[in-house]
Structure 1
Amino acid sequence: MLCLDFFCCGALMLCCTRLCVALPASPGLQLIPAHDPPVTEHTFPSTEASSASTVSHNAPCLVDDIFAELREAVGSDGELTNRSLTQFGICTVSDSSSGSVLLQLAKEMSRNQRHGLEVLHPTGVLLAEEDERGKLMLTFDLLQSPLLGLSPALLLAFESPPTGGNLVVTFTSQSLHPDAQTVCISGETLYIMLTGKASDGNVPQKWSISVETKSPDMNQSLKDILTGGKSGSNISMVPLLLFSGERGTDSRYHHSSSLASSQTPFLCELKRFLGDVLPQDHRESSPVHLDSLQSLPPLTLGLSSSDTLLAGLINSSSITIFSFGSWGSVFPVHRGELAFSPALLEELKQRLEQSVVKITTVIREEQVGQRATERLGRLKDLCVSDEGTGSRTGDRQYRAFLLLKALQTVARVYEVQRGLRATRAGPNNPVRANICGLRSLAVSLEKRLGLPETVNINNCHGSCAFPLTNGINHAVLLKFHIESENVDERAPCCVPVAYGALEVVEVNEQGTYLSMKQDVVAKECGCR
């Protein structure tokens, strides 16, 4: 999947989180403080050599992901990390056309948290073989736009990390500056950044870019990378042109973002934090879609939510799944707010402080990484600070509540892990004794929507021998009956006898909703 965003400063080039960008040098370009630009779903119409390709983005997090990646691109020594070089396809740290620009942007990002960005979407993308050697040609159709008078950055974001080994790839076009640009693609590369030339924006344009490897034998591998290994000529990357520069008075290109009236920065940071801190399960099991579970009618989380409901959620022991869903093609105008009574608000604050301390300890002991600690710090700041976003008390209470629920979920996930480790190491391990009891069972949820991506629903395993585990009279009599050589009857089975619920907090364009999925997590076992 491809995404992008950009900034520019001098002869720059840029990259970012789930997206990345390259900016050309232009003395007239400056980093501009602003809000977030809208980024839409992209549908590329088919042409003679390519069929339609549609890529959907979690648009509201696009810019925030880029900013986050820039913040993390520079190490403690003030230089680009090896991770950032690989992620942005930069061949060497001394690469003047990319490395120096990325470094400059990353340092600028550490000083100014938000920047302006203009985005232009190609209306058509064509991938074709240029000659018998397998050399490829990428063609982008661009609509008429005054933005083309600025120096653009063409960002190509992979739908998934490329496979097939390491490749050194050269992109050549009169529309690029310089005309030939080299990138290094590996399995950890997420973005390709190319810097373009300013041009006449009064007419539609077509950019044709030749793409080839050093060895013609590797061109098929290159084609597989660009198409995601699928047959046909659809590219599995999302192309975007990024522009930075002084905005004029033309309202068509002055984006009045609704970000100031939404919770987008907090929600995006929360999503990244959960992705960093929760244990990763790489099993290939088929995911369960949350909509397939029976649920109580959803409740709206907002100013009308009662203290009774909020208190119950604060004290709930249920795992919470955060569904960030598809927020649509523009930034949500939804402003999440909650209104706690003074007493309940004080309880919320105390529980949040305790949870922050607890999860900080978990991050350290489980060696999750410094990045998770930094994200947690920013999340906490967003719960208590306006940060110039027009935040109100209700906004901050909403953030604090969601952060508390997220931290409670993280704590319970690691409690389960630690309990399993202790059980396996203990002398009275019920698994070894084959006694009816609770065992861990993690199932996968639909990826990119639910965090955590797995949930431990537990299951019951083991034998039902005397004395029966949580045996009821029917099971006792049945067991006696079977042991009296009446073998035609079903023997008592080890099954769940008590369940817990799963809470799902869903954020979409209309608001924030809570769904209770009852009887999801096995809590206790018995012989039945």
Structure 2
Amino acid sequence: MLGVDVFYCGALMLCWTRLCVALHVSHGQPLIPPHDPEMTGDHYAASSTEAGDGLEIKNHVPHHAPCFVDDILAALREAVGSGGELTNRSLTLFGICTATDDPSGSVLFELTKEASRNGLEALHPAAVHLSEEDERGALKLTFDLPQSPSLEQKPVLLLAFKSPLSGGNLDFMFTSQLLQPNTQSVCISGETQYMMLTGKASEDNVHQNWRISADTKSPDMKQRLRDVLTGGKSGSSIGLIPLLLFSGGRGTDTRHTHGSGSSQTSSFLCELKRFLGDVTPRGQPESPPLQLTSLQSMPPLTLGVSSSDTLLAGLINSSALTIFSFSTCCSMSQVHRRELALSPALAEELRQRLEQTVMQITEVIREEDVGHRAAERLGRLRELSAFPKEEPATGESQYRAFLLLKALQTVARTYALKRGQRTARAGPSSPGGANICGLRSLTVSLERHLLAPNTANIDNCHGTCAVPLVNPTNHAVLLNSHIESERAASRSADERPPCCVPVAYEALEVVDFIEDLTQVRPFENVVVKECGCR
């Protein structure tokens, strides 16, 4: 299990036993700033200047997505198949042309082993420049590197795409005296998320700028190369997020403690985000994302050691749909202790409920053929939230177990609705084929960069209100009788007929991770529970 403690000096260091992530800090400011609604997800701060005949684009420190480094480490850990070999999907994911002929294949395999045993160190360039290099039309990437003893090791440069690629398969070449070998090929398809280049160790630690030429054999592909490097927005920003990886992190600072609670909680939250992305049904075509800020919320409830058993018991027993906001929780620039202080009785109830729900979701994953990765991630989440067998649960394990229970309750609810819809479609039709007033599924999309799951089934009411009326009020009964009597008398009733509308709702609960706080925001009257004629 991964563990992280944080200290500040010239760089921000996040360390495991053999895994140390070094993120450059300027003027005491963390690499990943607090959430800015104007700079979410994968944006960069960019500036442009004229450089010779071409445009030079400079990107400063990335405002990258939550869990960025953790997601890369997870991708490396999962790159090896059940037989211990690199899968074709893994080769495509990292832009490797072949597993045998390409030296990058063996490098990737070594990285997967280092990531699995927490033996990687990572370093972010402070800035990246893109400019025209020469008359051949090659492009030059320049990476400004912070001072770091890690540069004495042999690094791997990982370039992460900020958005999915389109336009077919591409083959590019990268050349530099700092690469080994000096020229390396990358094969890109629509499934590629990273490009991987192997560098040389710097014996004198003076290479504060890496310059790499990017080119393609086909003149027709020059513009596609530029589009890849700029994200298709020439003159605006770099379309890649760079990261330097080093094998065998030294972990020289003695203040780093393997397996600390705060470290496990940060890793847990990132793993939870990935798991929810795996198991959330895709279902209907995606609609434009909606912002929850347009809804009115009840006063937020703070989760912590001061939370009462009454509040926590209510949340544990709540059937409300739960959404997790990961806007700032997993940035890894700040790691705070998050704890609960449950009574022994409530802690035991939480433990039992969690065990039952894990078994239920394990069955759902198997029956719905969600995939082995979801099962593996569920197992890891279970480990990270496990209560000690002999001693009372620690505060942070209670906190993680509570969040996992709420997430799995939402997953169980989602698949129960999905199965109910399948049963309804397969069942006999109503008499006469009438479209009787009733509950219908309605899935809406939420802000993708902030929430997991990023969809919510809020349901809606559809159908006609014909006799016998469904769940009517007295007014609806009298109104319908009046309209029918007017029709019987061959008169036109100038009244609206009873309508099929929601008559009962459930709340939507959003768990927000805000710096050192965790809050639950209840949004009342969001999910339709019952329909009726009104």
Shorter-chain-normalised TM-score: which range?
0.7 to 0.9
* 1:295 paired residue among 297, 300, 305: 297
- Separation in 2 of the partners of 1:422 and 1:328? 39
Structure 1: which amino acid aligns with 2:69?
V
- Separation in 1 of the partners of 2:273 and 2:351? 21
- 2:18 aligned partner: 33
Worse-matched range after superposition: 326-335 or 392-401: 326-335
- Following superposition, the deviation at residue 369 of structure 1 comes to 0.8
Unaligned stretches of 5+ residues in structure 2: 1-15, 25-30, 33-43
- 1:5 aligned partner: none
Q: Is the 8 A contact 2:97 2:187 kept in 1?
A: yes
Worse-matched range after superposition: 276-285 or 297-306: 276-285
- 1:343 aligned partner: 345
- 1:499 aligned partner: 505
- Say yes or no: does 1:230 pair with 2:233: yes
Worse-matched range after superposition: 136-145 or 81-90: 136-145
Q: Tell me, what secondary structure is at the counterpart of 1:155?
A: strand
- Separation in 2 of the partners of 1:401 and 1:330? 21
Q: Tell me, what secondary structure is at the counterpart of 1:384?
A: coil
Q: Is the alpha carbon distance of 1:507 and 1:281 closer, same or farther for their aligned partners in structure 2, counting shifts above 3 Å?
A: farther
Q: Is the alpha carbon distance of 1:432 and 1:177 closer, same or farther for their aligned partners in structure 2, counting shifts above 3 Å?
A: farther
Unaligned stretches of 5+ residues in structure 1: 1-30
- Separation in 1 of the partners of 2:421 and 2:197? 49
- 1:89 aligned partner: 95
Q: Tell me, what secondary structure is at the counterpart of 1:331?
A: coil
- Following superposition, the deviation at residue 138 of structure 1 comes to 2.1
Q: Is the alpha carbon distance of 1:364 and 1:146 closer, same or farther for their aligned partners in structure 2, counting shifts above 3 Å?
A: closer
* 2:69 paired residue among 51, 63, 75: 63
Q: How many residues matched?
A: 489
- Separation in 1 of the partners of 2:452 and 2:249? 39
- Following superposition, the deviation at residue 143 of structure 1 comes to 4.7
- Separation in 2 of the partners of 1:299 and 1:165? 49
- Separation in 2 of the partners of 1:229 and 1:265? 33
1:207-222 equivalent positions in 2, closer than 5 A:
207-222=210-225
Q: Is the 8 A contact 1:146 1:201 kept in 2?
A: no
Worse-matched range after superposition: 205-214 or 518-527: 205-214
- Separation in 1 of the partners of 2:210 and 2:518? 42
1:400-415 equivalent positions in 2, closer than 5 A:
400-415=401-416
Q: Is the 8 A contact 2:472 2:532 kept in 1?
A: yes
Q: Is the 8 A contact 1:142 1:205 kept in 2?
A: yes
- Following superposition, the deviation at residue 479 of structure 1 comes to 2.0
- Following superposition, the deviation at residue 513 of structure 1 comes to 0.8
* 1:125 paired residue among 129, 138, 154: 129
- Following superposition, the deviation at residue 307 of structure 1 comes to 0.8
Q: Is the 8 A contact 2:160 2:241 kept in 1?
A: yes
Worse-matched range after superposition: 494-503 or 255-264: 255-264
Q: Is the 8 A contact 1:88 1:189 kept in 2?
A: yes
- Following superposition, the deviation at residue 116 of structure 1 comes to 4.4
- Say yes or no: does 1:192 pair with 2:195: yes
Q: Is the 8 A contact 2:59 2:127 kept in 1?
A: no
Structure 2: which amino acid aligns with 1:57?
H
* 2:266 paired residue among 264, 267, 277: 264
- Say yes or no: does 1:273 pair with 2:275: yes
- Following superposition, the deviation at residue 438 of structure 1 comes to 0.7
- Following superposition, the deviation at residue 300 of structure 1 comes to 0.7
Q: Tell me, what secondary structure is at the counterpart of 2:180?
A: coil
- 1:518 aligned partner: 524
- 1:80 aligned partner: 86
Deviations 1:79-136 (A, max 9, x none): 10111110001100113521112112323444x2x234141413242243643x6432
Greater strand proportion: 2
Structure 2: which amino acid aligns with 1:241?
L
Q: Is the 8 A contact 2:444 2:456 kept in 1?
A: yes
- 2:469 aligned partner: 468
- Following superposition, the deviation at residue 183 of structure 1 comes to 0.8
The CA RMSD over aligned residues, in Å, is: 2.8
Q: Is the alpha carbon distance of 1:338 and 1:47 closer, same or farther for their aligned partners in structure 2, counting shifts above 3 Å?
A: same
Percent of paired sites with the same residue: 61
- 2:309 aligned partner: 307
* 2:318 paired residue among 303, 316, 319: 316
TM-score by length of 1: 0.85
Q: Is the alpha carbon distance of 1:267 and 1:328 closer, same or farther for their aligned partners in structure 2, counting shifts above 3 Å?
A: closer
Q: Is the alpha carbon distance of 1:331 and 1:143 closer, same or farther for their aligned partners in structure 2, counting shifts above 3 Å?
A: closer
Q: Is the 8 A contact 1:136 1:212 kept in 2?
A: yes
Q: Tell me, what secondary structure is at the counterpart of 2:385?
A: helix
Q: Tell me, what secondary structure is at the counterpart of 2:338?
A: coil
Q: Is the 8 A contact 1:321 1:450 kept in 2?
A: yes
- Separation in 2 of the partners of 1:317 and 1:438? 18
Deviations 1:242-262 (A, max 9, x none): 34456496x7x9989997534
- 2:493 aligned partner: 487
Q: Tell me, what secondary structure is at the counterpart of 2:328?
A: coil
Q: Is the 8 A contact 1:501 1:519 kept in 2?
A: yes
- Following superposition, the deviation at residue 142 of structure 1 comes to 3.5
Q: Tell me, what secondary structure is at the counterpart of 1:47?
A: strand
Q: Is the alpha carbon distance of 1:245 and 1:350 closer, same or farther for their aligned partners in structure 2, counting shifts above 3 Å?
A: closer
Deviations 1:297-322 (A, max 9, x none): 11111111111111111111111101
- Separation in 2 of the partners of 1:452 and 1:94? 38
- Separation in 1 of the partners of 2:107 and 2:425? 51
Q: Is the 8 A contact 1:37 1:119 kept in 2?
A: yes
Q: Is the alpha carbon distance of 1:379 and 1:123 closer, same or farther for their aligned partners in structure 2, counting shifts above 3 Å?
A: same
1:365-380 equivalent positions in 2, closer than 5 A:
365-380=367-382
- 1:457 aligned partner: 458
Deviations 1:366-386 (A, max 9, x none): 000111111111111111268
- Separation in 2 of the partners of 1:426 and 1:302? 47
